[in-house]
Amino acid sequence: MSRPRNAAATKAALLEAAAKLFGERGFDRTTVRDIASLAGVNQALLFRYFGSKDALFATVLATQSRELLEDSPAEHLLRNVLLRMMDEKPRPEDHPLHAVLRSSHHDSAAEVVRRQLGEEYARALSSLTDAEDAALRADLVLAWVVGIGVLRSVFGKQPLAEADPAKVAALVAQAASVLLERTDSG
């Protein structure tokens, strides 16, 4: 009945359970006992395979943020990220940003935001305009996406929480284009 011994499978189960719980509850409200219980393994194995709760959290963020950027051509990044943020069909808590937003005080989370969002998202966004303050404009668009995620997923603000993702994306794209338009004068 008991599955065969398999360290890789155990690690994967812990990682998956941690991603789900960190995303749902944030770092503080998630206990190592909860993670181990959801993964169906003994909690001591969490420390054997990941060292500490902090290290496990960092591993979750690294894994998720790696997935986030691998398939977004710059031109469609805003739309892609926004639609992905809006999409709640499969499992909304799997979105990499959720764990970050719910654990914003954590060093690893803040670092991921500054590095990933800063150096990847924002650079891609800022490439869309040639305004001299392109980086600031990109940050503002990024802030919008983050804010929508916060209001939707964290607070469940209506009507935004249940609005049609395509409609939201259209409205945001329409307004954001004011900030990201090219002057083609330089």
Partner DNA sequence: GTCGGCTGTAAGCGAATGCTTACATGGGGG
Partner DNA sequence: CCCCCATGTAAGCATTCGCTTACAGCCGAC
Residues that bind DNA (CB under 7 A): 2, 4-7, 9-10, 30-33, 41-45, 47-48, 52-54
Output the smallest distance, CB 121 to a second copy, in A. 10
For 131, the token pair is 């305004």
Residue 156 interacts with a second copy (CB under 8 A)? yes
Interface residue with a second copy, options 7, 12, 28, 166 (CB under 8 A): 28
Residue 72's binding partner among DNA, a second copy, none (Cβ under 5 to 8 angstroms by kind) is none
8 A C-beta contact, residue 11 and residue 49? yes
Residue 144's binding partner among DNA, a second copy, none (Cβ under 5 to 8 angstroms by kind) is a second copy
Residue 129's binding partner among a second copy, DNA, none (Cβ under 5 to 8 angstroms by kind) is none
Report the C-alpha gap between 101 and 151 in whole angstroms: 11
The Cβ of residue 16 has, within 10 Å, a number of other Cβ atoms equal to 16
Q: Where are the alpha helices (DSSP H) in the chain?
A: 7-25, 32-39, 43-50, 53-68, 77-86, 96-101, 107-112, 122-126, 134-149, 165-180
Report the C-alpha gap between 27 and 164 in whole angstroms: 30
Residue 155's binding partner among a second copy, DNA, none (Cβ under 5 to 8 angstroms by kind) is a second copy
8 A C-beta contact, residue 137 and residue 180? yes
Residue 1 interacts with a second copy (CB under 8 A)? no
Contacts with a second copy, residue ranges (CB under 8 A): 25-26, 28-29, 101-102, 104-105, 110, 113-114, 117-118, 122, 133, 135-137, 139-140, 142-148, 150-151, 154-160, 163, 167-168, 171-172, 174-176, 178-179
